[in-house]
Amino acid sequence: MTKNHNSYHRKVVMPANTMLNPVPVVMVSCAHKDHIDGRPNIITVAWAGTICSDPPMLSISIRKSRLSHKIISASGEFVVNLVSQELLKACDYCGVRSGREYDKFQECQLTSIPADSLLSAPAIDEAPVSISCKVTGVTELGAHDLFMARIESVTVDADLMDEKGRLCLEKADLVAYSHGHYYALGDILGFFGYSVASPKALKRRLDEIHKNTNRKSG
């Protein structure tokens, strides 16, 4: 059946812009001995994403003027730290203050710890998940440069693992960023493949997810 044209949503065409929303907001930590006396820095990044599964890779985009751009270019490594609701205020601070003027770890009362598999870049101890990355290539795009990186290891808080050794990321209270605002992730609406799952499997999986989520909040 052909859809009646009058039932289409009314659309407004806008100029080209970065309207892909929502996106993850992450805290990228880095360090290099030749910059700010080796003091570690944190930059808040909303433009980060997975680019390959085998090998596991991700990318971040950073303006050339940022201190972290220079640090990562020199060290060739960085850590992507996922942001929980408890970390959100620090995350926002690290996005509006420069590491040239402020020690962000000290200002936000965060703890810098060695990152697994890396030599220079530290991880943020308070982050629920830290992803150690080594740069494989940089592409100049315009206002931002794209850093492509191979994921060397992933470190997670032990309390995010269940008794079967499964990562329960739904317990991490992660946040997202959309059009200038931060949001807590809302109700679980489904899971990968739920559209073709049997009613029995659908109920079992959703009950399991909700049980883990309630255990975290309790």
Q: Could you read off the pLDDT of 16-66 as tens digits, one per residue?
A: 998 999 999 999 999 999 999 999 999 999 999 999 999 999 999 999 999
Using the Cα atoms of residue 168, residue 172, residue 173 and residue 177 in order, give the sign of their dihedral. negative
Give 156-192 as a DSSP string: E-GGGB-TTS-B-GGGG-BEEEETTEEEE-------T
Q: Measured between alpha carbons, how far is 218 from 205 in angstroms, rounded to an integer?
A: 20
> Is the pTM above the cut of 0.85?
yes
Q: Could you read off the pLDDT of 160-191 as tens digits, one per residue?
A: 998 999 999 989 999 999 999 999 998 888 88
